[in-house]
């Protein structure tokens, strides 16, 4: 019985190998950097670096938004349990929103400087 199982597995593996063909998908071309590809290889790498820096700055803004949202939800939870006042909640929301505006403005200015 053991030899029959081995032969059966070999038969299945052989059929699978014959039916399986490499997948040659038409992969899309990578996008060019936002500032173009002309100017040589080094210039193209600098342009890709610029795009990476802009995405990194966007990530900083997302982290800032997440922190403000988490703090606002936490403060709202404290308000509903009568551990904090509505004034404290609105203060957290307004100060956090102001900080987000400043962070987004700074990221925007940094992308212009690059």
What pLDDT score does 21 carry? Answer: 64
What is the rounded average pLDDT of the residues 28-40? 81
What is the rounded average pLDDT of the residues 85-113? 90
What is the rounded average pLDDT of the residues 23-46? 80
What is the rounded average pLDDT of the residues 16-26? 70
Phi-psi region of 87 (alpha: psi -120 to 50; beta: other; left: phi over 0): alpha
What pLDDT score does 6 carry? Answer: 80
pLDDT of 44 strictly over 60: yes
Q: Which residue has the higher pLDDT, 101 or 13?
A: 101
- Rounded Cα gap, residues 7 and 69, in angstroms: 62
């Amino acid at each position: 019985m053991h030899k029959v199982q081995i032969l059966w597995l070999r038969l299945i593996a052989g059929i699978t190998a014959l039916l399986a063909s490499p997948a040659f998908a038409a992969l899309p071309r990578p996008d060019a950097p936002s500032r173009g590809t002309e100017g040589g290889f080094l210039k193209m790498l600098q342009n890709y670096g610029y795009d990476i820096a802009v995405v990194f700055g966007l990530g900083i803004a997302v982290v800032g938004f997440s922190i403000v949202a988490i703090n606002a939800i936490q403060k709202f939870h404290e308000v509903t349990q009568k551990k904090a006042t509505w004034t404290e909640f609105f203060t957290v929301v307004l100060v956090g929103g102001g900080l987000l505006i400043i962070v987004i403005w700074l990221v925007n200015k940094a992308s212009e400087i690059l």
